[in-house]
Amino acid sequence: MVDPRAAAPEEEKDEVSAQPRAADRILGAARELFYHQGIRAIGVDEIVRQAGVTKPSLYRSFASKDELAASYLQRYERDFWARFDASVTKHPGDPRAQILDYFEGVGRRAGSPGHRGCGLTNAVVEYPEDGHPAHRVSEANKRELRRRLRAMAAGMGASEPEVLGDGLLLLFEGANIGGQIFGDAGPAAALAANAERLIDASLGAARRKA
């Protein structure tokens, strides 16, 4: 029995083999455009133009713009956790140092040229509807970040780890917004320093209660 794939015309096989490359170009273009200009502001025509592909190629890879937006955010989130986990790995068993190391990096990036804050936060603002694919990816990320920060606060011995974890989350979100307003001279540069003071105040309160 002949494998139908083997019998496919050469141009069809070339088109099939090109699919992953087209999808990568589309995602790369979408990431730049969505992150810097907003998801709602960018149409499919601009994405395919920047990616150098056709509109049918986009819809073969992604069923809709909403699915493309969710895929962009999933890739963004992968890089987000890679940076977070790198700080955790750098300071094994020391959640205080892990958080401060991560926040040092966040503070630097928040004030850098072209930084548009956290792409996942931006997406939640753009898509407040609970059922939207972009909203679901972003909300899940924020809930997991909150869970991790609270767990790390508990690991440091905070008497109220939920309060400390939430305070750190608020500092994180504020730094990303502040960076867009003030740039490298803004409050984002003091993110780690403020996190350190918050942590030390919380741990000091825990020791006083002991």
Per residue in 141-172, pLDDT (tens digit) is 999 999 999 999 999 999 999 999 999 999 99
Average pLDDT over residues 72-100: 97
Q: Where in the chain is the domain with CATH 1.10.10.60?
A: 1-62
Q: Where in the chain is the domain with CATH 1.10.357.10?
A: 70-209
Q: How far is CA 45 from CA 41, 50, 55, 59, 123, in A?
A: 12, 9, 7, 12, 20
The fourth-level CATH superfamily of domain 70-209 is: Tetracycline Repressor, domain 2 (1.10.357.10)
One of 1.10.10.60, 1.10.150.310, 1.10.540.10, 2.60.120.1140 is the CATH number of 1-62, namely 1.10.10.60
- pLDDT value for 196: 97
- Taking the model in full, what pTM does it have? 0.85
Q: What's the pLDDT band for 16 if we cut at 50, 70, 90?
A: very low
- pLDDT value for 205: 65
Q: How many residues are recorded in the chain?
A: 210
Residue 208 pLDDT exceeds 80: no
- pLDDT value for 4: 43
